[in-house]
Amino acid sequence: MLIKIIRIIAVLFAVTAAASVLPRLYDTTFSSRGGRGHKDIRYSEILKDFIISEYVYSSEKSHTAGQTIYYDRHGKSYSRDSVDQLFLLDNVSQLAYEGRFPDTICGMAVTPELVSSEAFSQYYSAQPGLYYGLCELRDRKSYTSRSLEPRDLFRITPEGIQFIVCETNQIDEEKSRRFTTELTRLDFRFPALRMWTSPDKSVSEAIGYYVTDSKNYLYCLSMELSTPVVQKLEKPDNKNIRNVNFGKSSDIRALLITEDGDTYIQHPDLSYTRLALPSSLGKSGTLNGNLFYRIFTLPDRNRQTTFVFDRDFRLLDSCSLYYSPRPQSTAGVFKELLLPLRIGQTAWNGFYADWSPIKRFIWFNLILTAIALYYKRKNGNRLSDAFTVTDLLLVVVFGIYGFIGIFAFPLKRSQKEIVKSKSADL
Amino acid sequence: MTILKHLIYKEWVKTRWFASIALLLNLGVLVYIFMSLRSSFLSAGGVTYLSALLTYKTQFFSIYRYIPLGIALLVGISQFAPEITDKRIKLALHLPLHNLRIIYTMVVYGFVLLALCMIPGILIFTGLISIYLPAEITLPVLQTMLPWLLGGFCAYFLIAMIAMEPVWKFRFLYLLVSYKVLSLFFMHLPIGNAVSLLPVLCLVTCLSSIAPVYTSYRFNKGQL
């Protein structure tokens, strides 16, 4: 019995291994992607609508060529030249070089310098990054004198803040006491749950750290001329903070994701605006800004959604772009039939297990089960045995993976079954 | 009890030199990593070095990644290769003890030997790096190394499983499955990022520890 249970575990291991290896092996051997390639979506300030670009492959006389096609949500096609004129803000350098950059866009007087200075792009995430609990605090005046750059790292323990002198790995008692006193004065409850700062050195120096204390209150901690500067901040709609991303433009101090997945913009005056975005929990996205818009893109499995906001963060439009979830090519259809399950890992989604539609693979799985049943009968395995039935069920569910698994780890017949089959032979 | 002692002595005779090499290899690599860390720390300066570690999350100990796997190969092959040559393990399996007990005496012996080869080095390494690195970095470093250590133990159990399989075609299949299972333990993750994966890896290691029971049973019964 124990041996048979161990065998089932081993078969499941084999199924997992095969489901992660075979689909990739298949993809490298046959292209199951179909005749369409990379897709992208952009918002035209001229059309006030989205334009989708897609790289399309075509095969003629065994020669594969590709070209980019452009179309909008209603299926209207655009030529390459007309598209260039619809994205003036994106093509500012090229248009200025060719002397074709207009004086006004949408009734606003513009210059290439103004457009360039307003453009930015940044990633943001609802998932907090790796957190060691140890940070470096840069002085606000570091840019004027290198002597004010950090000479230590700090942590916030249940007893208070501790600055560690890096060279000796010892605690700077005097500096620690000064900062602990200042934090205590503002009712900070030790220890800190989490601290965030900007990866941008100048922003990190200017703002310092956003810190949540043990009661989930939000503080801003920075340092000026070696003295602590601490400020207690309001939380957006009094919600607990899940992650903080610092902004790259002058109108966004920070992007805060709350524990319920809502996204808030914190303005330079520390006021908040809630964005009309779906829950960001477990997601990472991009924020692109230009003279007129703030554009958020949230990727998901097989699709991405782009949300366009005006400069006051009012939602103007949104559009989802789907990446053909169903295969277009013959190789893709066969992949779904032969390999019903794909196990893998992506940076966005962590571990995943993707099943093909059941109607695509079930008949093939039943054929494999019939073959497995034939061999089981031939080897004298009885159908009344629970482990024989389990084997067959594994083939029905996992198809070729289960088939490989049960033959890689063959099922031993019981002594009773062997005796019975021998007596039947006699 | 005497039989078990003899069994353990037999295992010791087979593995002692390979285990000594494994122990020295482990200590040598860990001391080298520490010397390298010390040199970088002193030449770059504490703040710069720690700041770079925190920002880029570089694995200054990445050279250690496959050492536990190498140690498992040394111990596992030295222990099981002589047994499967001419099917000598059949002699041990005919001793007046339950087969499961005999197999697990061998497997537990190998597991303890593997632990003795790896754990002292890791403890010394932890003590040494704690001189220069604060606990907030030392702990993630150990968390990052733990999957590799577990990978070593898991590899050892899988070697035992493969070694005791009587049929070559199945050995090849187990090798493929083992490769995929072990690749889980050696993913390239930043320092401290493996924490959420650790329970899964512990479970896989525990499950792999019972795998030799299945193949040794087939070996003993001569099942093809």
- From chain B, the residues in CB contact with A161 under 8 A are none
Token pair 């925190």 is found at B54
A160 and A248 in a single domain? The answer is: yes
Angstroms from B192 CA to nearest CA on chain A: 7
Using the Cβ of A2 and the Cβ atoms of chain B, whether some distance falls under 8 Å is answered with yes
Using the Cβ of A206 and the Cβ atoms of chain B, whether some distance falls under 8 Å is answered with no
| Cβ–Cβ under 8 Å, residues A163 and A152 | yes
A206 and A267 in a single domain? The answer is: yes
The residue of chain B with its CA nearest to that of A198 is B55
Name residues 357-416 of chain A within 8 A of B (Cβ). Answer: 404, 408-410, 412
What DSSP element (H or E) covers A421?
helix A415-425
A256 and A188 in a single domain? The answer is: yes
A98 and A204 in a single domain? The answer is: no
| Cβ–Cβ under 8 Å, residues A205 and A140 | yes
A153 and A300 in a single domain? The answer is: yes
Q: Does a structural domain hold residue A327? A: no
Q: CB neighbours (10 Å) of residue B51? A: 18
Using the Cβ of B134 and the Cβ atoms of chain A, whether some distance falls under 8 Å is answered with yes
ω into A191 cis (within 30 of 0):
yes
Q: Does a structural domain hold residue A345? A: no
Q: Does a structural domain hold residue A168? A: yes
| Cβ–Cβ under 8 Å, residues A307 and A322 | no
Average the pLDDT over B67-86 and give the result: 90
The residue of chain A with its CA nearest to that of B45 is A167
Domain boundary pick from A85, A103, A118: A118
Q: What pLDDT is attached to residue B85?
A: 77
Count helices and strands (H / E) in chain B: 9, 0
A290 and A141 in a single domain? The answer is: yes
User: In terms of Cα–Cα distance, which of B36, B90, B89, B25 is closest to B62?
Assistant: B36
CA distance B157 to B178: 10
Token pair 């500012």 is found at A92
Q: Does a structural domain hold residue A334? A: no
- From chain B, the residues in CB contact with A168 under 8 A are 46
A220 and A311 in a single domain? The answer is: yes
Domain boundary pick from A70, A103, A118: A118
Domain boundary pick from A118, A150, A182: A118
Cβ-in-10-Å burial (0-12, 13-18, 19+) of B201 comes to buried
Residue A161 predicted with pLDDT over 60: yes
CA distance A286 to A307: 11
Compute the C-alpha angle A186/A192/A194, nearest 5°.
120
Give the residue with greater pLDDT, B131 vs B167.
B131
User: What confidence tens digit (pLDDT) does each residue in A47-95 have?
Assistant: 999 999 988 877 666 677 788 899 998 889 999 888 888 898 988 888 8
- From chain B, the residues in CB contact with A17 under 8 A are 176-177, 179-181
The residue of chain B with its CA nearest to that of A415 is B221
Collapse the DSSP code of A251 into the 3-class scheme (helix H, G, I; strand E, B; otherwise coil) and give the result. coil
The number of distinct structural domains making up chain A is 3
CA distance B82 to B77: 8
User: What confidence tens digit (pLDDT) does each residue in A175-187 have?
Assistant: 999 999 999 999 9
A106 and A132 in a single domain? The answer is: no
A148 and A25 in a single domain? The answer is: no
Write out the two tokens for A76.
Answer: 């209207």
A87 and A152 in a single domain? The answer is: no
The residue of chain A with its CA nearest to that of B137 is A132
Compute the C-alpha angle A221/A232/A120, nearest 5°.
65
pLDDT bracket for residue A422 (50, 70, 90): low
Q: Does a structural domain hold residue A347? A: no
Write out the two tokens for B147.
Answer: 């999957």
pLDDT bracket for residue A337 (50, 70, 90): confident
A252 and A298 in a single domain? The answer is: yes
Minimal Cβ distance to B214: which of A3, A149, A404: A3
Domain, as residue range, for A173: 120-322
ipTM of the complex: 0.73
User: In terms of Cα–Cα distance, which of A340, A402, A341, A342 is closest to A369?
Assistant: A402
Q: What pLDDT is attached to residue A421?
A: 58
Q: Does a structural domain hold residue A244? A: yes
What is the amino acid identity at position A280?
Answer: S
- Under an 8 A CB cutoff, do B213 and A3 touch? yes
Average the pLDDT over A32-45 and give the result: 75
pLDDT bracket for residue B19 (50, 70, 90): very high
Write out the two tokens for A40.
Answer: 């992208």
Q: Does a structural domain hold residue A369? A: yes
User: What confidence tens digit (pLDDT) does each residue in A395-420 have?
Assistant: 999 999 999 888 888 776 655 555 66
Q: What pLDDT is attached to residue A359?
A: 84
Minimal Cβ distance to A169: which of B132, B176, B179: B132
Q: State percent of chain B over pLDDT 90.
A: 51
Q: Does a structural domain hold residue A343? A: no
A150 and A203 in a single domain? The answer is: yes
ω into A228 cis (within 30 of 0):
no
